[in-house]
Chain A
Amino acid sequence: MASTAAKTKLSLAQRDYVAGYIFVAPILLLMLVWFYYPALQSLLYSFQEINFLKMADARYIGLGNFQKLFADPAFWQAAKNTVIITAVSVPALVIFGFLVAYNIEAVMRGKAAYRTLYYIPAVTSAVALTISVMYLFIERGAIPTLLNRVFGIPDVTWPADTRTALAFVCILVIWKNLGFFVVLFITGLQAISNEIIEASKVDGATGLQRMWYITIPQLRPTTSLVVILSIIWCMQCFDEPYTLARSGGVVGSPAGTTSTLVTFFYSQNFRYFNPGYGSAAAFVIFAVLMLVSVIQRAYSGRSQDHA
């Protein structure tokens, strides 16, 4: 009697194992075939010299691609541009994202409408956004004229001028991603318990004091998520500079001022047919992202200890 009970119990658990494996089998199979296998292949490419058009002639050259990469000025320009895009866009996204979310949460009426409107650019394609913003920044267009009158910034076609093209890419990246971070900050703000806010009101804290001493510290988990996500996205910036380049033009134009690590990688593969070299660049991006996420882990781990 007891043994049959144990038996059915075991078989129930075993049946659950089987169910578990059936549930995860499709994703594992697909990820192994369409993600891990190609990623591994790419890692192998990075140690080879390959001509895309004659894949059979590939040969191993050890770390040759990486040596060449680190001596390549075009790679360093792409790396520098990527760092500039990240350094400009991330703080802008954090600050504007927070300010918009804070004000939306502070008003009584229209919260849902604001949330929806601010999220719209985040659901549209970078290609569509880039094209329409681009025409606002054309010489003698609305924005360059205004900026020229007010700040004396030269009235030029921003995406086509070597002095302004990279700044223009930063503007696009901020424009494209702000809405998503506004929504993230809103969910973060909603998670702050009302009791703390109420207590501070009783203590007579002013609105600004409350924001500075309570809201911002309480938002820290959200802020760190916003920082890490925006770094990852900025590091992988591609669609904007690709769309900027006129058809047939080199991606990263004018004169490489908008090239990024991913456009560098892309042109190595599909313009110069050099996937070995391109893959080496891709793994540099990967290594940097890993480093960033390790730093972030350590940082957020430490802040949790303090809490």
Chain B
Amino acid sequence: MMNKAKLQLRSLSVLRHFGLIGFVLLYLLPFLFALYTSFLGKPDIGKFVWPDRWVFENYRDVFNAGLLNWYKNTAIMSGGIILGNLVVNTMAGYALAKIKFPGNKLVFFIIIGTMMIPGQVTLVPIYTMSVQLGWVNTYQALIIPFLTSGMLTFFMRQFFLSIPHEIEEAARIDGLGRFGIFFRVVLPNAKTALATLVIFAFKDSWNAFLWPVTLTNRPDMHVITVGLNSLKGQYYEWINITMTGVVCATLPMVIVFIILQKHFTKSMAMVGIKG
């Protein structure tokens, strides 16, 4: 009786693994397909066979189309945005969670309110502001408007709320002021949340498309998504080259995610997603 139940449980588990593996293969098929196609010569495209010859020239072609420059632009843009978000959202999230000051609630609503209004509403005015400031085709235009995030501030606030009050009290008795507490006690204890913030800010800025395509129009200012889209236009018949672009655009982000993912899942659970 017991054995039968155990056997049932085990076969159910095997079934689950089969389902999960099968589904994830299907789910990741576009990326596997992109990786495979990126090593094909033109005659082998679309045959779904093991090719006679694996080629690496596609990577050279994408490289020549300006890949390094796209990487550079994206790295500068993402770096600036991540750094800004890290500082600005973390400070605000901390103040909202731990400091009682008059107007605290109002500030909270101003910050959360940005989540309610779709960002596209600000697209044209920000474009006009950039034109007036002479910022079109500059890094400032790609970075400065995107240094804040209502969602990430909210996330940091929730995280700081979960840090016990006693830690700060102890630091205060030791003679630390607000800033000392924040930098020397709170931040070192917030590594998982900060890693999550970095993942989200990195993901959003690395993958941003609508804003860069609007605020820049010179090819030398292309970020990776815009460059990839231009590849698709240029090499419509050359799937292997476009797919190489897909691999180049995707791989860095996936690697960063895999490195940081432990922190990410931990802090997601810690903050406790509630409706």
A binding-site residues for B, Cβ under 8 Å: 15-17, 19-21, 23-24, 26-28, 30-31, 34-39, 41-42, 45, 52, 55, 100, 103-104, 106-108, 110, 112, 114-129, 131-133, 135-136, 138, 140-142, 175, 178-179, 183-184, 186-188, 190-191, 207, 220-222, 224-225, 228, 235-236, 238-239, 242-243, 246-248, 262, 265-266, 269-270, 275, 278-279, 282-283, 285-286, 289-290, 293, 300
**Chain B residues, Cβ within 8 Å of A41:** 125, 128
How far does the alpha carbon of A118 sit from the alpha carbon of B23 in the complex, in Å? 9
Q: In the complex, are the beta carbons of B110 and A31 less than 8 A apart?
A: yes
A272: min CB distance to chain B, Å: 12
Given contacts A16-B99, A131-B228, A142-B48, contact A136 B29 (CB under 8 A): yes
A259 to B37, CA, bound (A): 30
Most chain B CB neighbours (cut-off 10 Å) among A24, A138, A183: A24
Contacts known (A27-B92, A108-B13); A114 close to B20, Cβ less than 8 A: yes
A275-B128 Cα distance, complex, nearest whole Å: 11
Additional A-B contact list (5), CB under 8 Å, known A30-B148, A265-B120: A23-B182, A38-B121, A41-B125, A116-B257, A123-B199
| Residues of chain B in range 36-56 having any CB-CB distance to chain A below 8 Å | 37, 46, 48
Interface centre among A115, A120, A286 (most CB of B within 10 A): A120
Note all chain B residues with C-beta closer than 8 A to A178.
27
| Beta-carbon contact of B225 and A125 below 8 Å | yes
Contacts of A115 in B (CB 8 A): 261, 265
**Interface pick from B60-68, B101-109, B187-195:** B101-109
| A51 to B239 alpha-carbon distance, docked (Å) | 39
Q: B269 in the interface, Cβ–Cβ < 8 Å?
A: yes
Q: Check B102–A128 contact: CB distance below 8 A.
A: no
Query: By the criterion CB–CB under 8 Å, are B120 and A285 in contact?
Result: yes
Q: How many contacts between A and B, using CB within 8 angstroms?
A: 262
Among A21, A34, A123, A266, contact of B126 (Cβ-Cβ < 8 Å): A34
CB of B75 within 8 Å of the partner chain:
no
A127 in complex: contacting residue of B20, B153, B225, CB < 8 Å: B225
**Known contacts A16-B100, A118-B27, A132-B31: A107-B121 contact under CB 8 Å:** no
B148 touches A27 (CB 8 A): yes
Contact A269 B123 (CB under 8 A): yes
Kindly identify, within residues 223 to 252 of chain B, every residue whose CB is under 8 Å from any CB belonging to chain A. Answer: 224-225, 228-230, 232-233, 236, 239, 242-243, 245-246, 249-250
CA distance A112 to B13 in the complex (A): 16
Q: In the complex the two chains form, what is the Cα distance from A33 to B75 in whole Å?
A: 25
Task: Choose one: A124, A142, A289, A293; the contact of B250 (CB below 8 Å).
Answer: A124
**24 interchain pairs, CB-CB under 8 A:** A20-B104, A27-B91, A28-B107, A34-B145, A34-B148, A104-B20, A107-B17, A115-B265, A124-B254, A125-B207, A127-B207, A128-B246, A135-B37, A141-B46, A186-B265, A187-B265, A207-B12, A221-B274, A224-B275, A238-B120, A238-B210, A243-B209, A262-B120, A286-B121
Query: Cβ of B209 and Cβ of A127 under 8 Å apart?
Result: yes
Residues from chain A with a CB closer than 8 A to the CB of B107 are 24, 28
Q: Establish whether residues A236 and B99, one from each chain, have CB atoms under 8 Å apart when the complex forms.
A: no
Kindly list chain B residues whose C-beta atoms are within 8 Å of the C-beta of A104.
20
Looking at the assembled complex, report how far the CB atom of A245 sits from the nearest CB atom of chain B, in whole angstroms. Answer: 10
Give bound CA distance, A28 to B150, whole Å.
11
Question: B273 to A124, Cβ gap below 8 A?
Answer: no
The answer to whether B28 touches A23 (Cβ under 8 A) is no
Instruction: Using CB atoms and an 8 Å cutoff, list the residues of chain B in contact with chain A.
Output: 12-13, 16-17, 19-20, 23-24, 27-31, 33-34, 37, 46, 48, 87-89, 91-92, 94-96, 99-102, 104, 107, 110-111, 114, 116-118, 120-126, 128-129, 144-148, 153, 177-179, 182, 199, 203, 206-207, 209-210, 214, 224-225, 228-230, 232-233, 236, 239, 242-243, 245-246, 249-250, 253-254, 257-258, 261, 265, 268-269, 272-275
Question: A55, B16: Cβ atoms under 8 Å?
Answer: no
Q: Which residues of chain A have C-beta atoms less than 8 A from B29's C-beta?
A: 136
Known: A20-B95, A103-B19, A224-B275. A289 touches B118 (CB 8 A): yes
Which residues of A are found within 8 Å of B95, using beta-carbon distances? 19-20, 23-24
Instruction: Please tell me if the beta carbons of A243 and B232 are within 8 angstroms of each other in the complex.
Output: yes
Evaluate contact between B16 and A282: CB separation under 8 angstroms. no
Asked whether, in the complex, the Cβ of A289 is within 8 Å of the Cβ of B116, the reply is yes
Q: What separation, in Å, do the CA atoms of A269 and B12 have in the docked complex? A: 55
**Is there contact, CB below 8 Å, between B273 and A225?**
yes
Nearest chain A residue, comparing its CB with the CB of B30:
A132
